Structure 1
Amino acid sequence: MKAPLYLVLATLFWSGNFVVGQAAVASMTPLDLTFWRWTLAAVPLLALAHLVEKPDWRAVLRRWPVLLLLSALGMSGYTLLLYTALGYTSAMNASLITAANPALIVVMAIVLLGERTTRLGWLGIGLGLLGVLLVLTRGDLQRVASLSINTGELLMIGAIIVWGGYTIIARRLGVPPIAATAVQVAMATVTLAPLALVQHVRLPDTPAEAWSLGYIALFPSLGAYLFWNLALKTTPPGTAGNYLNLMVVFTAAITLALGTPLTPVQVVGGILVVAGVLLTGLKGQPRPAPA
């Protein structure tokens, strides 16, 4: 019974990242948050990987080219896009777009890997796309034709495309997951350091900024990855992936608790996205292409 609790905690921590990140980008730059998030999490993650997985570090580091690519996509690229997007759109909208990620990954697997899905899988993809479009257009689908979509939401679309590519590549990595994550985080810290120096990345100046960065480094970066990977030891990836639907629920609950009401379009869009992901994940898993 521990695995479901671990998955719930991981998604709760990642949901908090949307809300806290949106508050933090009001006074800190996306690069500030990204650089310090991974810098503070790198050593604890490496220690956790060593204690929990006891990997052969030489074997892990032999995969450095792929790990470096994954670091650029999942740690640097996705995180910078996410925090930049939160400067233009709401945490709720960002989480709704992110909820379409499992369906997007199915599409990318079909296009890039030649995998196939079922009719229910295609129905799920369609529902998820419709839900995201409702959120992007505020219920006015004609805005798609005129490309009248918020800059932050366009950035979030870019973010989930980057994360989809990260997931497709990471599927075949063959490295213990916490060790792989820890090395990618360390690589992100090193590769972002020159840019951080040029851009004069700063530490938090106020208690509010310090608490925000502390939360981001401890819970979404360290705790969520630890709980997620511990759960994957006994939970199939497809089952675990469906827990990501809780991110929309948790983000909505946090948003409401902080006094920001949800719009009807967000509610309907969220229902369509979650329903689409459930159909894609539970009944529409892609099948490998025939040899």
Structure 2
Amino acid sequence: MRLTYLKLIITVFFWGSNFAAGKIAVQSFGPYSTAFLRFSVGATILMIMLYNNEKKLPKLTVNQWKWAIVSGVLGVVLYNLSFFIGIQYMPTVRASLIVAFSPITITLGSAMFFGEKVTVLKWLGILVSIAGAMLVIVRGDFHNLLAQGTWGIGEWFILGAVISWTAYTLVGKLALKAMPALTLSAFSALVGCILLFFPALQSNIFERMAVAPWQAYLAVIYMGAAATALGFIWYYEAVRLIGVTKSAIIGNLTPVFAVLIAVSFLGEKLTIPTIIGGSLVLLGILLTNRK
């Protein structure tokens, strides 16, 4: 069980770094081509892993194809297009804040559709974790949040990403009853990649690729290999083994990792609010996972 938590935390680190990598890639490729290229890499790696694991590519039943298509549309197409379009129009800091509310929507959905019991202690853990994530993102001054003004197109798209991820997580809980995590991850990524090709083609993907710098390619490869290939498998495993709510609350470490990456690679200072906020997120995770 400890290994499951470790894998999930590493996955969340990959997702935290996605904000920086996505910004780099979108500047050169645009949102549609970035999403397609990311899942071209991810789907290829996942299919190779599935082939090596099964010694062949499994033949899906009609029911399994249904779950793969639904997961591909929600977790690949809708989520990634919403995410990459959104971060074009808003700071990644604010985007991280909106994404940090995913545990609330996932917990509500899990309680409504699966009857998962949400105790007072779990709610307390969720609220503490959310407070910690907000403190990290606004850097200790909540006036920074209010100063951003009204909701624009970027905020709405990031909110769409939260809704898509919530639906994807809940659907994954059902889909995992029909097929293994690796099979579901590989085929949903393949479905999403195929569907993303058409908007990417309309946005002149080949012309963009011809002039893109190596940093943009590196960002796409990183997102496809780490956040997509490994992330899909480990996240599905966590949902199956420790449940939707616990997986979601650990996902709230995403903005904390995003800030730490900025400190390590962009030269930003590690502030007291960052340390306190990160500690609150960890405290929230501990409270949520207590019996």
TM class by shorter chain equals 0.7 to 0.9
Of 157, 182, 207, 1:178 maps to: 182
CA apart distance, 1:121: 2.8
CA apart distance, 1:255: 0.9
CA apart distance, 1:87: 1.7
CA apart distance, 1:114: 4.2
Aligned AA (2:232): Y
How do residues 206-221 of structure 1 correspond to structure 2 at under 5 angstroms? 206-221=213-228
Provide the residue aligned with 2:164 in structure 1. 162
Provide the residue aligned with 1:68 in structure 2. 69
CA apart distance, 1:82: 1.3
Deviations 1:182-234 (A, max 9, x none): 101111122222222223223262222222222222221223334556x6499
CA apart distance, 1:45: 0.6
How do residues 229-248 of structure 1 correspond to structure 2 at under 5 angstroms? 232=238, 236-237=242-243, 243-248=250-255
CA distance in 2, matches of 1:27, 1:56: 34
TM-score (norm 1): 0.78
CA distance in 1, matches of 2:64, 2:162: 24
RMSD of the alignment, in Å? 3.7
Decide whether the 8 Å contact of 1:99 with 1:273 is kept in 2: no
CA distance in 2, matches of 1:44, 1:142: 39
Q: Which runs of 5+ in 2 are unaligned?
A: none
CA distance in 2, matches of 1:126, 1:2: 26
Aligned AA (2:242): P
1:124–1:2 distance in 2 versus 1, CA, 3 Å? closer
Q: Which runs of 5+ in 1 are unaligned?
A: 285-291
Provide the residue aligned with 1:108 in structure 2. 109
Q: Report percent identity of matched pairs.
A: 25
1:154–1:261 distance in 2 versus 1, CA, 3 Å? farther
How many residues align structurally?
Answer: 281
TM-score (norm 2): 0.78
Provide the residue aligned with 2:142 in structure 1. 139
CA distance in 2, matches of 1:53, 1:110: 35
1:109–1:241 distance in 2 versus 1, CA, 3 Å? closer
Decide whether the 8 Å contact of 1:103 with 1:277 is kept in 2: no
Provide the residue aligned with 1:32 in structure 2. 33
